[in-house]
Amino acid sequence: MTTSFVDVSEARALAMDAADPLRLIRDEFYIPKHHGREVVYLAGNSLGCQPRGVKQLLEHELEDWARLGVLGHEEARDPWLAYHEQFREPLAALVGAKHHEVVAMNTLTVNLHLLMVSFYRPTSTRYKIVIEDSAFPSDSYAVQSQARFHGLDPADAVVRIKPREGEDLLRTEDIEALLEREGDRIALMMMGGVNYLTGQFYDVERITAKAREKGCVVGWDLAHGAGNVPLRLHDWGVDFASWCSYKYLNGGPGAISGAFVHERHAGAEMPRFAGWWGNDPSDRFKMIREFVPRTDVDAWQLSNPPIFSMTPLKCSLEIFHRVGMDPIREKSIELTGYMESLLHERCAGRVRVVTPADPEHRGAHLSLVVEGPREGMKDALIAAGVTVDYREPGIIRAAPAPLYVSYHDVWRFVDVLTGLLERV
Ligand SMILES: *Cc1c(COP(=O)(O)O)cnc(C)c1O
């Protein structure tokens, strides 16, 4: 921190809340409670809070099912046949895509596989897949199994990019240098837009451009990016992407995922695992034998939409669409910066922030390393009403999700942490 004076008072936090244009949005969510008091919920990068409107929307669907049975496909208040269509506009706005480039379907790892079936086409010379060394385990398993599926040895086919010795974060120039050096052998580059462990928001645009220049296909896992950071997948020329909807998007445990395929692949002949929902809808109920794929991302859909898993997301996306990503991002930058400055001021020497200091390279997430003794830290945080992700050895991932986390929450978290550090 370069600022010489940070007002660490509780009064300052309350004043920031009073001036926050998004302060009322918090009331649209249930914040979990601990001993009757709302917790400081900083786990929205793991599972977002429930929008209060979900229950009523779900009840509508249950009622329509009871009332209409099969006729609900066409006569429900939101007809089930086309249920996924209403997700296109909010999803497109969220990730910077055209409407026909996005679809809500399946779950994240399933989508990564379905998309890799089409987009990972190894040849004898170009067969490598690049991922981050600290990729989420499911992504590691997915690419390793894709390599095996093509008869390749994952130890040879999967390249894991690591930070430099003694560093926590990846440098864009190192990724570019790898692409320059080995690009001709790389079939697929598949990274997390925001790293789940460090909170680093990669330069998606630059990395995508470099990889494509070298003839690689580029896919992004946006599990920690969607609803968190500004994305322009279409303009950045990303080939494909997918994200889950239960983290920053508050779509509920195991919520339906989102997928993006750039329109330049529209109608391209590709190997694909097909199902009837990827078929041209005008032929869908003719029960013909031959698969006639849609010409857009919908070609990757397999099944008819799972209404009860989509309804909570519909509710949540309505909030995102109404509020807009720009104000959300604005608060996110300020709130995360506030958390960082309080930590610097009050926990100096005991807590190290791993996440990049530059707001352009992070979202609503700080990864903290607690130095020195920290016995009982996790239980003590929970007992003090703070929900964060804590992993040995002393790593805290704190996500001040701007839709429902207040400045006072952030103040409480740092206050609790400071108290614990003084005790141990
Ligand atoms: C959360 C997360 C997942 C989880 O995948 P599911 O298929 O939804 O269980 C996968 N990859 C990344 C990067 C994640 O952050």
Residue 283 has pLDDT above 90, yes or no: no
Q: Sorting pLDDT into bands at 50, 70 and 90, what band is 36?
A: very high
Report yes or no on whether pTM surpasses 0.85: yes
Burial tier of 260 (Cβ tally within 10 Å: 0-12, 13-18, 19+): buried
Residues 6+ away with beta carbon under 8 Å from 76:
61, 64, 65, 68
Q: Cα(134) to centroid of ligand 1, in Å? A: 13
For a mutational test of ligand 1's pocket, the pick from 133, 139, 242, 309, i.e. the residue with the most ligand atoms closer than 8 A to its C-beta, is: 139
User: Distance between CA atoms of 346 and 343, rounded to whole angstroms?
Assistant: 5
pLDDT, residue 1, reads: 45
Distances in Å between the Cα of 222 and the Cα atoms of 155, 199, 249, 288, 405 are 25, 12, 11, 36, 21
- Stretch (H or E) spanning 340: helix 325-346
- The closest alpha carbon to 386, from 346, 349, 347, 420, belongs to 420
Instruction: Report how far ligand 1's centroid is from the alpha carbon of 47 (Å).
Output: 11
pLDDT tens digits for 342-390?
999 999 999 999 999 999 999 999 999 999 888 888 889 999 999 999 8
Q: What is the pLDDT of residue 392?
A: 78
Distance of CA 424 from the midpoint of ligand 1 (Å): 34
pLDDT at 15: 97
pLDDT at 239 over 50: yes
Distance 157 CA to ligand 1 centre (A): 22
Residue 258: name the closest of 266, 267, 268, 248 by CA: 248
Give the pLDDT confidence of 304-333 residue by residue, as tens digits.
Answer: 999 999 999 999 999 999 999 999 999 999
Please identify, by atom number, the ligand 1 atom nearest to the C-alpha of residue 109. Answer: 7
> Which atom in ligand 1 lies closest to the alpha carbon of residue 254?
8
Which band of pLDDT confidence, cut at 50, 70 and 90, is reported for residue 393?
confident
Helical H runs in 45-136? 54-68, 72-75, 88-95, 108-119
Give residue ranges with CB within 6 A of ligand 1.
Answer: 107-109, 136, 138-139, 192, 196, 221, 223-224, 244
For residue 337, give the amino acid letter: G
Average pLDDT over residues 13-42: 97
Judge whether residue 419 has pLDDT over 80: yes
Ligand 1 centre distance from Cα of residue 196 (Å): 9
pLDDT at 114: 98
> Tens digits of per-residue pLDDT, 83-107?
999 999 999 999 999 999 999 999 9
Q: What are the tens digits of pLDDT across the range 118-142? A: 999 999 999 999 999 999 999 999 9
Q: Where are the beta strands (DSSP E) in 325-388?
A: 351-353, 366-370, 386-387
Interval between CA 244 and ligand 1 midpoint (Å): 6
Among protein residues, the one with the nearest Cα to ligand 1's atom 1 is: 223
Distance (angstroms) between ligand 1 centre and the Cα of 360 equals 23
Q: What is the number of the ligand 1 atom nearest to the C-alpha of 247? A: 1
Tell me what percent of the residues of the chain surpass a pLDDT of 90.
89
Mean pLDDT, residues 35-48 taken together: 97
| Residue closest by Cα to atom 10 of ligand 1 | 138
Domains of the chain: 10-52+324-423 (3.90.1150.10), 82-321 (3.40.640.10)
**Mutational test site, ligand 1, from 144, 244, 245, 367, max ligand atoms within 8 Å of CB:** 244
The per-residue pLDDT of the chain, averaged, comes to 95
CA of 241 to the centre of ligand 1 (A): 13
List, for residues 149-191, the tens digit of each pLDDT value: 999 999 999 999 999 999 999 999 999 999 999 999 999 999 9
Question: Which ranges constitute the DSSP H helices of 158-277?
Answer: 172-182, 204-213, 233-236
d(CA 118, CA 130): 17
Q: What is the pLDDT of residue 31?
A: 98
Rounded to whole angstroms, how far apart are CA atoms 351 and 395? 10
Q: State the pLDDT at residue 374.
A: 82
Amino acid at 411: W
